[in-house]
Amino acid sequence: MLMLGVCAAWSLITAAARGGRPEGVLLAVLAVAAGYAAGRICGALLPVVAPSAGALAGLGLAAITPHTTAGSPLISPFGHTGATAALLALSTGAACCAAWAARSPGPRLALRLLACGIAVTAAALGSTTGFAACAGVLLCSLAAARMRPRGLGLAGLALATALVTATIWAIAEDVLPAGLTDSLEGQLTPHRVLLWHDALGLVHDEPLLGTGPGRFGELSPTVAQALSADDRPHSAPLQLAAEQGLVGAALLAAVFGWVLYVLWRSPRSTPVVLTAGAALTALAAIAAVGNALSFTTVTAGAGLLAGIATARPLTDGEDGVAAQDLDDR
């Protein structure tokens, strides 16, 4: 709560100093806090039913999410929106967590089939990134059964997130080799890369306080020349760095690090913890190259999954496994 409070306070400070609209950041912080609290409560009372219901709710929301305007230069190759891919990844993680928490083989098999069905739905919706994220979460969940020291797995997830973020920053800084830059730009779309260049230029101009929350669209030359009404840089780290300075980007990294830490300390079994960590890492990667965190359903879903994976179940089914996991850590 203290860390989320600092994030909210910093957005208000930068808004007061530079102007802007901090409501979006405040809403995201509130959604994460509410989702996490609900996840802790529901995960303690219903360790199987709660993530199962969350997976079905996320799947339904992803299926009915309004698509972006046809012909938008930001659609390819990330499907319809980053929110769709993120919801599908979180839903897959929730289904896999429920499967690991189930005691009997019947419900466990059904929940794993649900997770596979979510990945198939991602492909049917045309979300390439969503399908890749769901498949990655499924593979990580299966591999988690053989990984006893959860700290090593969580460290690997943190490293993967850092590498994705560093790559995005390097593309925006234009420091990669020309051939690699051209290849990545073709996948990411030139328009998106131009937005990242604008965001990094604002960081160079205002490294401490940024330009103010919600002001990127007013100051970006690429947004001014675009036909679409989208005024975000489609990268959460770069958006926070541009609008709230390097302190804002550091706070985002600190929140993600805190999530991994509480997962490491969680009393739940290692497969549940690593599965949730994989889903949240997939979300972090999607948010690094898209606008997923701009949607309240995504931020609330992330908090809900983190809360479920860190809750202490009131049942006795996982007590022995949890005790063994604590010894392994």
Domain segments of the chain as ranges: 2-328
Cβ pair 229, 246 in contact under 8 A: no
Cβ pair 209, 245 in contact under 8 A: yes
Q: What is the DSSP string of 235-257?
A: -HHHHHHHHHHHHHHHHHHHHHH
Helices (H), the chain: 2-18, 23-45, 49-64, 82-101, 105-124, 128-144, 150-173, 178-188, 190-205, 216-219, 221-225, 236-264, 270-288, 296-310, 319-328
User: What pLDDT shows up at residue 70?
Assistant: 40
pLDDT in tens, 19-77: 889 999 999 999 999 999 999 999 999 999 999 999 999 999 988 866 543 444 444 44
Rounded Cα–Cα distance for residues 209 and 99 (Å): 44
User: What pLDDT shows up at residue 319?
Assistant: 44
Rounded Cα–Cα distance for residues 174 and 188 (Å): 14
What's the gap between Cα 154 and its chain centre? Answer: 15
Question: In degrees to the nearest 10, what's the CA dihedral of 16, 19, 23, 26?
Answer: -40
- Is-cis flag, bond preceding 149, omega within 30? no
Which of 313, 134, 168 is CA-nearest to residue 236? 168
pLDDT in tens, 106-130: 999 999 999 999 999 999 988 888 9
User: What pLDDT shows up at residue 320?
Assistant: 44
What letters, b where the CB count within 10 A reaches 16 and e where it falls short, cover 178-209? eeeeeeebeebbebbbbbbbbbbebbeebeeb
Distances 203 to 28, 189, 198, 206, 246 between C-alpha atoms, Å: 22, 22, 9, 5, 8
Distances 43 to 100, 147, 161, 183, 278 between C-alpha atoms, Å: 13, 23, 26, 43, 18
What's the gap between Cα 77 and its chain centre? Answer: 18
Token pair, residue 68, equals 């972006």
Weakly modelled stretches of the chain, pLDDT under 50: 68-80, 319-328
User: What pLDDT shows up at residue 63?
Assistant: 86
User: What pLDDT shows up at residue 184?
Assistant: 83
Question: In degrees to the nearest 10, what's the CA dihedral of 193, 197, 198, 203?
Answer: 140
The three-class DSSP label of residue 272 is helix
